[in-house]
Structure 1
Amino acid sequence: MPTLTDTTRRTAARIAAAGYVALFVLGVFANFVVKQGIIDPVDAEATVVAIREQETLFRIGLTAFVVVFLIDIPVAWGLYVLFAPGGRARSLLVAWFRIAYTVFLGVGAVFMFLGLQIATGVTDLAPDVALLMFAAFDFAWYVGLIAFGVHLVLLGALIIRSRIAPRIVGVILAVAGSAYAVDTLVHVLVADYAAIADVMLAIVAIPSIVAELTFTVWLLLAGRRSSSVTAEDVRIPVAA
């Protein structure tokens, strides 16, 4: 029966670590440089003008979102394999919540593409419709971020329970996941989110950056050495 060997888990750690590094770089570029740098959520005309002037950059940013969507799939697999000794069913649940987030990001990328088509004059729709497509991207992503937040909370709990990684890593991930979930719910429940946007950004950004960097460093180290769990724990069946 197939088993998860220590070598397999080190490979999974390397894949997850490389994925996290790529996700960080691509995510920062796509979201902060392109999306937030070009799209004005309250001015449709200005957004359309900016997209037409920087269409190539916008398309590169959209491509980056699509690549993020693809990379998240092997990252979910890598984390499942790496943390399976802590409980195969629990590790699978963690992976599924990450996949759920990834699916919504893919849906959001479709809305972003439709907004691009409208903004560049491929259709006769008004600029306001393009802005609506970009708003739809945001909301699809927010829904996905709820799943991502649950993914981080469950991953943190799995780490704390299994001790495959240092417990502090699990705690930080759980805090970051809670911040993502709370921010998304606030987006839905609060009519004037812009009034508290700066506060919410700090609440989400600080723990998430610390968590992502800490976890990435641990994954890089885990990919270079044997697991701290015993060989008996590592060699668990892949199939039920």
Structure 2
Amino acid sequence: MAVFHLWKVSQVIQSDSGAAVQVMDNILRFERIWSLGLIVFGIHLIMAGIAASKACFIPKVLSGLLILAGVSYLLIHSMYQAFPQYETSTAAIETILSLPMMMGELGFGMWLLVKGIKVKSSTRPSYLGAS
């Protein structure tokens, strides 16, 4: 949905009849929808982190980083939506929280890849009825 507004920007620019107001309006709509999507993504990361914390085989550090990343996404993009007048302050907070956000997402993804490769290479019996 958000990317559709970027497509509209390109159509307006290519048509030579595009007014700057139309271009800016579509860019702002893209940013608003994209930010709402990242709020949903933050909620997803929080739930994934909680589920990971209940699993005994996933390191607690990774589940904590996932929860921190989710809370960061939720906080930052809620601030962009609710308090647009504090955009510079929100951008500063986003800069500070970008490292834990990256560590949570990439760390968990890398851990899943490494763990998946280890499990795949082991001789574990199949429980799905196939051998």
State the TM bucket, normalised to the shorter chain. 0.7 to 0.9
What TM-score comes out, normalization by structure 1 length? Answer: 0.48
Q: Does 1:199 align with 2:96?
A: no
Cα 1:198–1:126 change in 2 (3 A) is same
1:157 to 2:50 alignment: yes
In structure 2, give the amino acid aligned to 1:126: A
Q: Does 1:219 align with 2:112?
A: yes
Q: Runs ≥4 in structure 1, deviation > 4 angstroms?
A: none
Shift of residue 160 of structure 1? 0.4
Cα distance in 2 between the residues matched to 1:172 and 1:113:
35
Alpha-carbon separation, structure 2, partners of 1:235 and 1:130: 55
Task: Measure how far apart 1:235 and its partner are.
Answer: 4.9
Deviations 1:19-49 (A, max 9, x none): xxxxxxxxxxxxxxxxxxxxxxxxxxxxxxx
- Once residues 127 and 66 of structure 2 are traced to their aligned partners in structure 1, the CA distance between those partners, rounded to angstroms, is 26
User: 2:74 is paired with a residue of what secondary structure?
Assistant: helix
Q: Which residue of structure 2 lines up, in the alignment, with residue 30 of structure 1?
A: none
Aligned counterpart, 2:8: 114
Out of 166, 181, 202, the position equivalent to 2:74 is 181
* AA matched with 2:93: M
- 1:133 and 2:13 equivalent? no
**Whose RCO is larger (CA < 8 A, sep 6+)?**
1
* 1:83-116 deviation line (CA, Å, top 9, x unaligned): xxxxxxxxxxxxxxxxxxxxxxxx1111110011
Q: Secondary structure at the match of 1:172?
A: helix
Please tell me whether the aligned partners of residues 79 and 90 of structure 2 are also in contact (alpha carbons under 8 angstroms). Answer: no
- The one of 17, 33, 49 equivalent to 1:124 is 17
Partner of 1:224, secondary structure, is helix
**Deviation of residue 193 (structure 1)?**
2.9
* Alpha-carbon separation, structure 2, partners of 1:177 and 1:210: 12
1:144 alignment partner in structure 2: 37
After TM superposition, give the deviation of residue 123 of structure 1 in Å.
6.1
Percent sequence identity over aligned pairs: 22
Aligned letter for 2:92? V
For residue 205 of structure 1, what is the amino acid of its counterpart?
S
- Determine if contact 1:117/1:123 at 8 Å carries over to the other structure: no
- 3-state SS in 1 of match to 2:118: coil
Of the two, which has the highest radius of gyration?
2
Tell me the TM-score normalized by structure 2: 0.83
* Residues in 2 aligned to 1:158 and 1:129: alpha-carbon distance in whole angstroms: 44
Q: How many residues align?
A: 125
Measured in 2, the distance between the counterparts of 1:123 and 1:192 equals: 33
Q: Counterpart of 1:195 in structure 2: which amino acid?
A: T
User: Is the contact between residue 179 and residue 203 of structure 1 (CA under 8 Å) also seen in structure 2?
Assistant: no
CA deviations 1:179-212 (Å, max 9, x no partner) are 0001111012213133314322224312111112
In structure 2, runs of 5+ residues without a counterpart are none
3-state SS in 2 of match to 1:165: coil
What residue number does 1:13 align with? none
